Amino acid sequence: MAEGLFDKVYNPDVLSCLANLSNDEVFTPPEIVNAMLDMLPQELFKNPDTTFLDPACKTGVFLREIAKRLIKGLAPQFPDLQERIDHIFHKQLFGIAITELTSLLSRRGLYCSKYPNSEFSVSHFSDAEGNIRFKRINHTWKDGRCIFCGASQKEYERGEELETHAYEFIHTVDAEKIFDMKFDVIISNPPYHLSDGGAQASATPIYHLFVNTAKKLNPHFITMILPSRWMTGGKGLDKFRNSMIHDKHIRVLHDFMDSSDCFTGVEIKGGVCYFLWDRDNEDKCDIYRHDKDKTTQSNRYLVEQGDSIFIRYNELIKIKNKVWGKEKVSFSTIVSSMKPYGLRGDVFKNIAKYGLPPLSKTPIAGGYKILGLDGAKRAFRYIPKNYPLPKTDMLNDYKLFVPRNWGAGDLADIPSAIYIASPGELCTETFIQIGPFHSQEEAQNALTYFKTKFFRALVGIRKQDQGASKAVYQFVPMQDFFKPLTDEFLYDKYSLSQEEINFIESMIRPME
């Protein structure tokens, strides 16, 4: 019975369909699972003592694909198929589901029955969970946030009828006690983020908490698939990024610039990656960059000496080193932080909410002009000179107003129109401000610099999603703006090789 049922139910097409559903908890296609398993030493699947844990089960696909390899690898030790399946499912495979529904999906995917103590399970357990557990956990609130994951109390303090999304693996100080055993391999595609109650669908990353907890359990191997945003940015990820890029136990990294190469129909800004962490080995990392139909391989440490981020393109590392062998001052020194004049992005619509006087839609003689958004369109509002602005820095200078969000993170990104602002013009936080400039001519020359492919290639070192804050300009060198700047001039100034020029020219689209 076990053999026939096993062959019938273990059909990857079902889970391939589930993997195409878009959700914060993205389902993993079987082919990606197997690519991750291929990074592990294959001897693990011939060892009856190897133990595996998925701490964030959704469909059970990781455990299922591991089971298939173990069933084949352990055939010499357990010639009887039922004895082999019983050993694998009872002694080697363990999971923690993220919701009650996914616990049923995972058990159905692994045991061929959502209740492993039923007659339909390919391996019989004495209880309805088997080795895939789900325990409803509550968040631990302090000052409106969960102390474990940072979730908003307003968003996630719920009744019994709704899932709390307080995942057991990261909501305990003693994760090793969940199964009270050691694991050789921890493998997963953890949930990526939770709403933090902020504006415009603001969310707090949580995937790094699964990686950190897995490391604390000290398995032999860890492999997880994550959004790639941790490499250069991400809310609250500075400490995690520093830990990852300096961790020489990360021996393999597959980096996908476009998330749809892993998750069909799902867009994750900045792409995704999966890695192999090896407890007993330290060295350089085998890095595979997957960019559309092209894969580039390198063997290097995840961080260059003196850097604080992972640079995805080898070519950009060489270009950056050439540039900063000659330069000392970053263009970011003339880029504002958020809200250059203290005005929120919705100020045109909700001015009264901020306790400020009304704005005029028509010019006011001798007054100031504000660039912002009216709905989704750029618009201007006008105020008198005595208007109580929160900030007035650079109000009387020339500057550039650049959208704070543009593109999606790849090197071909082009920002929306950049506005040359005159004295007496200001903007809302929809824009960042670049300047000051002493004349309109200098501002125009700075704009020609922004339009060069050289400039935008160096922005691409840090820019991985639509966000374009002050930090993304870190590796762009400062220039004199007494004359227009061209790519040809910049390539020559920094002695770029033809190969480096060809890389920039092929990756960056011309900007009108």
pLDDT in tens, 303-338: 988 788 899 999 999 999 999 998 999 999 999 998
Q: Which residues of the chain does CATH 3.40.50.150 include? A: 2-312
Tell me how far CA of residue 122 lies from CA of 11, 117, 126, 271, in angstroms: 15, 10, 13, 38
- Reference 64, options 6, 140, 128; nearest CA is 6
For 31, phi and psi rounded to 5 degrees?
-65, -35
Q: What is the pLDDT of residue 449?
A: 96
Instruction: Tell me the mean pLDDT per 10 residues along the chain, length 512.
Output: 46 47 67 97 98 96 97 97 97 95 93 92 94 93 91 84 87 91 96 70 85 96 96 87 96 94 86 96 96 90 87 92 93 94 92 91 95 92 94 92 83 82 95 95 96 94 85 94 96 96 91 72
Q: What is the pLDDT of residue 8?
A: 44
On whether the 2-312 domain is CATH 3.30.420.280, my answer is no
Q: What is the pLDDT of residue 25?
A: 66
H-run or E-run covering 469: none
Q: What is the pLDDT of residue 15?
A: 52
Q: What is the pLDDT of residue 17?
A: 44
Give the integer Cα–Cα distance in Å for 3 and 297: 41
HEC sequence for 376-428: CEEEEEEECCCCCCCCCCCCCCEEEEEECECCCCCCCCCCCCCEEECCCEEEC
The span from the first CA to the last CA of the chain, in angstroms, equals 67
Please state whether the peptide bond connecting residue 436 to the residue before it is cis, i.e. omega within 30 degrees of 0: yes
HEC sequence for 211-262: HHHHHHCCCCEEEEEEEHHHHCCCCCCHHHHHHHHCCCCEEEEEEECCHHHC
pLDDT in tens, 228-263: 999 988 788 999 999 999 999 999 999 999 899 998
